[in-house]
A and B are shown apart, each in its own frame.
Chain A
Amino acid sequence: KVVNINYIPWCAATVSPVLGTVAARLKHSLPDLTYDYGALEPHINAEIMQLHHSKHHATYVNNLNVTEEKYQEALAKGDVTAQVSLQPALRFNGGGHINHTIFWTNLSQNGGGEPQGELAAAIKRDFGSFQTLKDKMSAVTVAVQGSGWGWLGFDKESGKLRITACHNQDPLQGTTGLVPLLGIDVWEHAYYLQYKNVRPDYVKAIWNVINWENVSERLQAAKK
């Protein structure tokens, strides 16, 4: 199941013009997980999942809302300097919200195993084998310096799957154009309580909980 980001749609502004433009701005909220915090044990423990979702992701959502509000004000005033100075915060917090929303759907207690159907075929075509994909994506993800994400993405131009990494919370599509299919968070908060400095062990373990149905759905959506 794909988790929905809850938006107050723009159309609400027309329904209630009294609210004014500020109240009608998009307001992001923390999506619920479709599983319990302990569902991914022993691969990712409950304590990590709880902190990661209810603290880290929640903070990105809150800070995104605050930043967007300031951005709306800057737009309204025509203050381009302020708009530019808010860009990093939009990137951090917007990217953080996007990335984690995808991530929760990429994981499942029924995950693991191998992808099927069109996704499996695409993986074979673009990487040679599923094992090669795993090896390459693991290597790229482990090698991220500092904080960041490893990504499996879809290149609309070539129609091919690509592996890459992004720094900090840079969102894949917003910065590279690739459509995100599967992300692996390697900020230390994603694994430290359980794996400490041994990032490779975490990356190895996470393959056990990858929700290949979700990754397949994302590929289908990306191809449209």
Chain B
Amino acid sequence: MSNLVRISSSPACAMMASTASISRFSVSKVTSKVIEPHIDARTMEIHHSKHHNAYTTNLNAAIAGTDLEGKTIENILINLDKTNAAVRNNGGGFYNHNLFWTVMSANGGGLPTGELLAAIESSFGTFEEFKAKFAKAGATQFGSGWAWLCVQKGGKLDVCGTPNQDNPLMPEVGCGGTPILGMDVWEHAYYLHYQNRRPDYIEAFFNVINWTEVSRRFALEK
């Protein structure tokens, strides 16, 4: 069995995944190059084919026959009834992982450029200050959750952490705005390779960030 796991760097995949067919969401294709050693292939495979798949299946089941059927995932999350645990957890999980695969790449890492870099410097001072803040959000998110870089309307950037599968699109969650970069800090995202060493995983994550995709999202949502 091939141990190459492929991640999509195609934005079309992400868009397709979020609107998919009328009533059913489907797991985004995960195609491109392997991102070892930063994130191992086995983790990627299980993360995508088991965890993300389960969120997708459970989301479809949760919205079947309801007025949420046929809506885009963004619409569902922005208008979320947070007491609806099934949609909150699975809708969040579906969206979050779709985004996650697109913001990672074997050719990733390094620094952002252009407008995104300017916005990062404007909002955080320097890239290093942003990196420290983002890493801290991931490291101090107790239990399961995510770290986010979000853009507000007007272009200001914020960093926040959210628990479980929440994300800032949801009403009154985190820093609000639209996520353009997310980092999964559920233990399943790193445990096979890093065990308890979440900070090592976070450091490695910076080697795979697909800044081109993050910039695309920034331009789209600011």
Contact = CB atoms under 8 A, between A and B. Distances in A.
Interface of A: 51, 55-56, 59, 88, 92, 145-148, 167-169, 187-189, 192-193, 196-197
Contact of A55 (B54, B165, B195): B195
B196 A145 contact: no
Contacts of A145: 85, 89, 164-165
B186 A146 contact: yes
A193 B192 contact: yes
B109 interface: no
A148 B50 contact: no
Contact of B145 (A146, A169, A189, A192): A146
B29 interface: no
Contacts of A197: 46, 50-51, 54, 188
Interface string B176-199: 000000000011100110011000
Given A168-B142, A197-B54, A146 B163 contact: yes
B46 A168 contact: no
B171 interface: no
Nearest to B42: A196
Nearest to B85: A145
A197 B196 CA distance: 17
A92 B142 contact: yes
A189 B192 CA distance: 10
Interface in B37-60: 46, 50-51, 54
Contacts of B50: 196-197
Contacts of B144: 146-147, 188
Nearest to A143: B85
Given A146-B164, A167-B143, A168-B143, A189 B196 contact: yes
Contact of B187 (A55, A169, A187): A187
29 contacts: A55-B195, A55-B196, A88-B142, A92-B142, A145-B89, A145-B164, A146-B163, A146-B186, A147-B144, A148-B143, A168-B142, A168-B143, A169-B142, A187-B187, A188-B186, A188-B187, A188-B188, A188-B191, A189-B187, A189-B195, A189-B196, A192-B188, A193-B192, A193-B195, A196-B50, A196-B188, A197-B46, A197-B51, A197-B188
Nearest to B195: A51
Contacts of B195: 51, 55, 189, 193
B144 to A, nearest CB: 4
B98 to A, nearest CB: 18
Given A88-B142, A187-B143, 20 more contacts: A51-B196, A55-B195, A55-B196, A59-B196, A145-B164, A146-B163, A146-B186, A167-B143, A168-B142, A169-B142, A187-B187, A188-B191, A189-B187, A192-B187, A193-B192, A196-B46, A196-B188, A197-B46, A197-B51, A197-B188
Nearest to A56: B196
Contacts of A188: 144, 186-188, 191
A95 to B, nearest CB: 10
Contacts of B85: 145
A206 B51 CA distance: 22
A197 B42 CA distance: 12
Contacts of A56: 196
Contacts of A167: 143
Contacts of B165: 145-146
A197 B54 CA distance: 10
Nearest to B186: A188
Q: Which of B145, B164, B165 is the most central at the interface, judged by chain A CB atoms within 10 Å of its CB?
A: B164
Contacts of A193: 191-192, 195
A130 to B, nearest CB: 29
Nearest to A187: B187
Contacts of B145: 146
Nearest to B164: A146
A94 to B, nearest CB: 13
Contacts of B51: 197
B142 A192 contact: no
Across the A-B interface, the 5 shortest Cβ-Cβ residue pairs: A146-B144, A188-B187, A147-B143, A146-B164, A168-B143
B14 to A, nearest CB: 23
